[in-house]
Amino acid sequence: MKMKKIDHVAVIVNDLSAAKAFFVDLGLEVKGEWEMEGDLMGYAAGLDNAKVACVGLGTQEGQTWLELIKFISPANDIEINRPLANTLGIRHIAFSVEDIEAVVAKLKIKGFELFSDIQQYEESYKLCYVRGPEGIIVELAQEIK
């Protein structure tokens, strides 16, 4: 069996507009917005009476697809956790960027939390971790050429 690619990554959020704005600020483009409900959605999510609002984001080249999903019903009002980078489970999404300094400066102006200043990994990458809305951790990586 051959794996072709990762089709998409889904991130569940309560504040869909804040999460959408964060990823647009990172440079992703909104590719679509929609709502889903009904039997298929309930079956797929394993929840009764599921209704969701979604935003699909991608890169200009179309190689990345990120879905932000807000459950309208059943709602989840559990307090947002702020995991550390070493908390077990899926922890961050990494994006390759062209100008890490510009992206980080833009995020700082918007008040997003940086884990550290931009660090250089050997002679290959500049790296930085940032926390977005609802505890989402994003790694930014700029390849050094």
Domain of 100 in residue numbering reads as 92-143
Q: Is residue 39, in this structure, part of any structural domain at all? A: yes
Pairwise CA distance, residues 67 & 76, whole Å: 18
Q: Return per-residue pLDDT of the chain as tens, 145 residues.
A: 787 788 889 999 999 999 999 999 999 999 999 998 877 766 666 777 888 899 999 998 888 899 999 988 887 777 777 777 788 888 889 999 999 999 999 999 999 988 888 999 999 999 999 999 988 999 999 999 8
69 and 118: one domain? Answer: no
pTM of the predicted protein model: 0.86
Pairwise CA distance, residues 133 & 24, whole Å: 13
102 and 59: one domain? Answer: no
13 and 69: one domain? Answer: yes
